[in-house]
Amino acid sequence: MIGKVAFVYLVTMACVVVACGRQVTPNPPGFGAGGAAPGFMTIKYDIAGPLNFSAYQYWVIFNTSGNGLTPLTNTFQTNWAAYSAGTEAAGLNGGTSAWAVQFLKSGQPGPPAFFHVIAPGQQFQYILNSNGLNTEFSMTLQRVVFNPINVTPAPSPTPPPHIWRFNGFVTQPSGPNQLLFLDSMGPGGATDTQFSSPQLDINQCFDQVFYKQQDVNPPSDPSAQLVSIEIANNPSPGPSSSPCPSSSP
């Protein structure tokens, strides 16, 4: 297993060097919720102060396993049971980039390997300063980037269950496969274990803004304070899905 984790880490670092996320222009009209095409999701991440990628990392983490757990800050106590995949925006080579991340678990206690998914621009788009105030960035991604990756040879992975849970975090740089939390969507911020994620049904069209719950002890730096996360989803075509209506140009 050590060899497998080392291989994943090397692939991860190679992905970071080439910048998996790409800054692009927004999608044109004609798509569904949040400008997302069928099978895609758009995320808008807002903080209280100017984005500071040299000091902080900004995460949206999903539990796509179907076990109903919310990703929280108590990763050691829960053995990362609610961590399936997510997105990270962070500093890179003096600038900023974003990418999809999968949390690859060995089945043994301990942190998973953080695998940065190499996604082409057609599958993952990153827009810096999407509100013009330098307090928001947005990402549009094809949800298949979160489909579980097999570390060992196995049949093709199946899509994750259709009910997802999520949380947002602000972290500081730490060691490999570690998160040093500064804020989260819950009232306890860096140590919160109270936030309960709403159900995100990826077979349904939705566009919702989720606001951080009031925190009695927020980070002192507004650039590390979460404000809201907007998630817009356009289902993949299928008999069990309700696709978004197309918007007018």
Task: Please choose, from the candidates 158, 155, 183, the residue with its C-alpha nearest in 3D space to the C-alpha of residue 168.
Answer: 183
Segment 180-187 shows an average pLDDT of: 98
Give the global pTM: 0.85
| Phi, psi for residue 11 in degrees, rounded to 5 | -65, -40
Cα gap 35→27, rounded to integer Å:
6
**Per-residue pLDDT, 31:** 62
As given in the structure block, the two tokens for residue 107 are 């089945």
Contact 54, 173 (CB under 8 A): no
Calculate the CA dihedral of residues 6, 7, 10, 12 and round it to 10 degrees.
Answer: -110
More confident residue, 230 or 108: 230
As given in the structure block, the two tokens for residue 50 are 């100017």
pLDDT digits (tens, 9 = 90+) for 9-30: 333 333 333 334 333 334 444 4
Segment 199-204 shows an average pLDDT of: 96
Helices (H), ranges, the chain = 2-18, 75-78
At 225, the pLDDT band (50, 70, 90 cuts) reads very high
Contact 61, 71 (CB under 8 A): yes
Q: Decide if pLDDT at 153 tops 80.
A: no
Segment 36-53 shows an average pLDDT of: 97
Cα gap 234→224, rounded to integer Å:
30
Q: Decide if pLDDT at 3 tops 50.
A: no
